[in-house]
Structure 1
């Protein structure tokens, strides 16, 4: 039986690689040797030349948003533009009142 593969992303290189998931193993980019971010098994990378999409993706991944499959058929809504992403993240953050 094979291992399920998931996507790891190198934001500086704007590259995505499907590799077996190991929670304990650090993945490094084959191009620049930087640590890659686990994006999830439902991740679909934008084209490398689409700088705006990669800026949005950088914001989402650095905020801890993943693209993981769920029982309902996918990761759900993910914003595609930077303005949408900022507003979406602001709504998702819980507000704590003292």
Structure 2
């Protein structure tokens, strides 16, 4: 169990098409805004990527396509603790091959894409 239940952590927000990541207070939190942040480049609403997100380098198109696939499936990069200080984050694919294999597995076994993408072992 976490010792920092009362501590607030900032959340990562991303714009996968522009390959931009920012840390912000969550909307509605004590320090947060009322609306999710907007991308400084394209002005679209940025997606909440979770507390444990590690952004790929801006020129890593393969890494950002994996991030886009994970977020499109409705998943976020978070651990088992709701506060964001988890020592073992939940599994998320890191390569295009992992995304492709999990999507194929989901199609063969009629699983929701989010379930297949979040499975550590198929």
Q: Do these two structures clear the TM 0.5 threshold for a shared fold by scoring above it?
A: yes
Between Structure 1 and Structure 2, which shows a larger proportion of strand residues? 1
Counterpart of 2:59? 49
Aligned 8 A contact 1:27 1:36 in 2? yes
**Superposition RMSD in Å:** 2.4
After superposition, the Cα gap between the structure-2 partners of 1:77 and 1:2, relative to the gap in structure 1 and judged at 3 Å, is closer
Q: Where does the alignment leave 5 or more consecutive residues of structure 2 unmatched?
A: 1-5, 29-33, 116-122
Q: Shift of residue 30 of structure 1?
A: 1.6
SS in 2 for 1:7: strand
Q: Shift of residue 86 of structure 1?
A: 3.1
TM-score using structure 2 length:
0.65
Q: Where does the alignment leave 5 or more consecutive residues of structure 1 unmatched?
A: none
Greater radius of gyration (CA): 2
After superposition, the Cα gap between the structure-2 partners of 1:74 and 1:31, relative to the gap in structure 1 and judged at 3 Å, is farther
